[in-house]
Each structure stands twice: as structure tokens, then as C-alpha cells.
Amino acid sequence: MKWMLISEARGDAAVGQPCEIRGWIRTRRDSKGGFSFLEVNDGSCFGSLQVVAPGELENYDSEIKKLSAGCSVVVRGTIKPSPAEGQASELHASELRVLGWADPETYPLQKKRHSFEKLREWAHLRPRTNTFGAIARVRDQVCASIHDFFREESFRYVQTPIITASDCEGAGEMFRVTTLDLDRLAGSGGPVRYELDFFDRPAYLTVSGQLEAETYATAIGRVYTFGPTFRAENSNTSRHLAEFWMVEPEAAFFDLHDNMQLAERFLKRIFDDCLKTSAEDMEFFDQRIEKGKIEQLRGVIDKPFVHMTYSEAVEVLTGSGETFEFPVAWGSDLQAEHERFLTEQHVGGPVILTDYPSSIKPFYMRLSDDERTVAAMDVLVPGVGEIIGGSQREERLEVLQKRMAAQNLSEENYWWYVDLRRFGTVPHAGFGLGLERIIQYITGMTNIRDVIPFPRTPGSAEF
């Protein structure tokens, strides 16, 4: 008998077919007529399949009538049109085998509704809920779209290292990687002897694959890197993780304009794929997590993104009459509250901010002719704020060296990066999209801890 995923078994084509399904019980309801309705879910799609288990089954009294949420089963039978509203078909069981019991006294998901905070304590079980199952499938879809999009745009996937000696963002928010015995070190009182450490130097978990991606962009043209990224920033917010995933395209001969166009095509493609291929999951987010999400995404796909310079944005903010917790002045970094005002109140959609002051951006961004700003671009969206940060890169050797000196970065540590400007330098640009931030935007989930399977935040790495 054919094993069907529930995504297939629920389709019209399955009606009339004999089949076997394998999954977990969501609910059991016993009918007065001496049979039971079981909702079985296998995670292949949002919906469950209703199984009708007749009282004649030999284990009806001994097992079927004891089934509860979380039990795993294999059911054989025939798919029939369903008389019940809201579902096209149901499985009439001729055989049901229990694989694993889940004691209703102790199974945490017995109760239907738990807060997202509570579910974070059960990161091993929460994917079995509607919300987290849907997030997992949408996240998978977004990853597939990322690879599809870049391949179609002739970008090559390169794998940049996770362990690195350089601080790409220059913010000093890096986790150390060491094999030195910290306890012995603490007792020794002396200075750390890095020549005794594994890599013979201080090493860290990467905050970005960009610098390494630039080496491949200036060799094979258009590349992207996509992997885990680590930041030891001590910010306990709904938008920050200590471990998150970032996709970073980098393209030779691209300027800031090309970079912005690429980012806009990229985001629209991801949204469009989600609406088309994750329709059932998106319907759920639209109904239960953020009303109107589908319409909102459709609107974003249909309209060109609004562009604004940092200076224009500062004017908008200072002239808004709004009181912000952090005051705004030219030269200060924009806070989440400012980003949200711009996207939510002022623009009412995504906005690309460009030309930030050089003093608040990393050394690698290209200095503009005004010598006060750099060719930076951030993409901001309602509800989340910044989802993309990028720039045209400084390709002029002397200018780069000056900026590194100004930010106290030793050229010695970045000699290979500087070399790219010594040998056949070209204009180039790229950006980084935070995977969890875009999943937050697509699903409407307000806390970033709920859109990554196992969140790492300050003081928390249980699983």
C-alpha cells in the first residue's frame, strides 16, 4: 500500500485511493455511533487529515480509544470525500498501528494553546505546533528562493569560513575561539600567550562573510555566501540573536545603484515565492499572526521601493513632531524607533536609506565625493526595521588605508583584503540580508527568537 504524505493525501487526486499515512495525533473525538475521529498531522503541510476509525478495528477499545495528542501512528485505509465542512476528504481506516504513546499527563503540548514564551522552553517540541511548523516550512521556502534567485542571476555560491581572525564590522562584538584552558589561564595571572593557542593568534566566530566573499567576487564576478553568523552584542531585543543566518551577495563591477536594484528584485522574489508556494502557511499567518499580511506583501511586490538619503531621513524625523526616546541629529545612528517611524508612518512600506555619515559605518564602505558620507544602503521594512545592510565597497587603495587608520585598524591584520585594491582593483558592491529578520517580516512574528529553530541570546543556549 502506498505511503502518502498528508500534503498528497489531502489533495483531490487522492480521493478513492487506498493509502497509508504516518504521523502524529493532534486530537481524538469519539462519536456516539461507536467510531472515532482522529486529526493526524505529519508536518508535510499545514493541515491535518481527518481519519475515521471504525469501532470494528481489532484494537479499537484497547488502543484507539486511548490515543491522545502527540501519539505517533501508522494508518491504512481509503481516502473518501468528506461530508464535514472545511475539508475535502478523509481517510477511512482499515488498520491503525500505534508507534509511540505520549502520556497526556506529561506531554507538554496536551493543552492546545501556549504562549510563544512558554513554547521557547520546549524548543524540542514546539515544531509540532501549527505556528512553528508553518514557520519551519516558510523558512525552508525562503532558503530555497535565495539559492534559486542567485543562481538565476548568475551568482555563485561560495562558502566563507566560520572561524576567522578579522572583525568585518569593526564593532568588536566577536565570540572567541580558543583551545586554551581558561581555568588555568585565570589562575596563571600572566598575559595570554596566543602562540600556544590552536591558531597561533586570536581567532573568532565570524560576524560576516563579506570580506572573504569580496576575494571571490574580484575573481569570479558574482558570488554569495550564506551561513551562520555570530555577534556577541549584549542586546536583549526582539530583533537580535547571538547566532543568526545571513545571506551576502557580492558583485564585481556593481555600484550602489546596481546593488539597490539587486536587493529589491531579491526581496520581491522571496515574497512572491512565499505567497505562491507556501499559500496555506501564509494564510495562517495572515489570519492568526498579523491580519492583512498577504495584502501587504502583494502591495510591496507591486510597487517600486522608496529611496531616501540618510540626510533626508534625518530631516523627516526632526520635522515629524514625534518625541523619540533617542533624539535624532545628523551624524547619529538611527535607532529602531526611528527606522520604524520612517517605514510605518512616513513611507508605509519598505524604504532604502542611502548615503550614511562615514563616521557611523564600517571602514570598507566607499567614501563619497562630499567626504562626509559613504555609499551605504540599508533596507528597512515595517514592523522589523533594518533587514538588509550593504554598500558599494571602497576600491581605492589610499582611501581605504586612510579609513582603516582613522578607525584604528591595523593594515597588517587585513593585508589580504587591502591586496585586492593593489592588484586589479574594481568597483564592487554587496549586501547582507538577515534571514531571521526577513522571516519575521514575512510571517509577522514579533520576536526573532521564534523564527529560528534554536535561538541563542545572552544567557540562553539550552538546547
CA 417 to chain centre: 28
Q: Which does 387 bind (CB under 5 to 8 A by kind): ligand 4AD, Mg ion, none?
A: ligand 4AD
Q: How far is CA 140 from CA 6, 121, 155, 230, 277, in A?
A: 18, 23, 20, 21, 11
- Three-class secondary structure of residue 356 per DSSP: strand
Locate all alpha helices (DSSP H) within 153-224, ordered by sequence. Answer: 182-188, 210-220
Near Mg ion by CB under 5 A, which window of 133-141, 248-256, 327-335, 389-397?
389-397
Report the amino acid identity of residue 130: N
For position 70 contacting ligand 4AD by CB under 6 A, the verdict is: no
Cβ proximity to ligand 4AD: between 6 and 452 the closer is 452
Dig out the grid coordinates for 360 from the structure.
557611523
CB nearer ligand 4AD, residue 77 or residue 249: 249
Residue owning grid cell 565597497: 393
Among the residue ranges 54-62, 134-142, 320-328, 425-433, the one whose residues contact ligand 4AD (CB under 6 A): 425-433
Distance separating alpha carbons of residues 389 and 378, to the nearest angstrom? 4
Instruction: Name the burial class of residue 103, with classes exposed (0-12), middle (13-18) and buried (19+) by CB atoms within 10 angstroms of its CB.
Output: exposed
Rule CB under 6 A: choose which of 400, 437, 440, 445 binds ligand 4AD.
437
Please pick, from the candidates 382, 389, 427, 455, the single residue that binds Mg ion as defined by CB under 5 A: 389
Contact 405, 441 (CB under 8 A): no
Strand pairing partners for 35? 54
Q: Under rule CB under 6 A, which residues in 255-294 are in contact with ligand 4AD? A: none
Q: Please identify, among the stretches 64-72, 158-166, 380-388, 406-414, the one whose residues bind ligand 4AD according to the rule CB under 6 A.
A: 380-388
Of 49 and 445, which has the nearer Cβ to ligand 4AD?
A: 445
Which residue, chain included where needed, has cell 488498520? 95
Single residue of 4, 246, 282, 451 touching ligand 4AD by CB under 6 A: 246
Query: Are 427 and 395 within 8 A, CB to CB?
Result: yes
Give yes or no for a contact between 90 and 40, defined as CB atoms under 8 angstroms apart.
no
382 is a site residue for Mg ion (CB under 5 A): no
For Mg ion, the closer of residues 226 and 285 by Cβ is 226
Write out the binding residues for ligand 4AD, residues 154-213 only, by CB under 6 A.
168-169, 208, 210
Positions in the binding site for ligand 4AD (CB under 6 A)? 168-169, 208, 210, 231, 233, 240-241, 244, 246, 248, 386-390, 430-432, 434, 436-437
Positions in the binding site for Mg ion (CB under 5 A)? 389
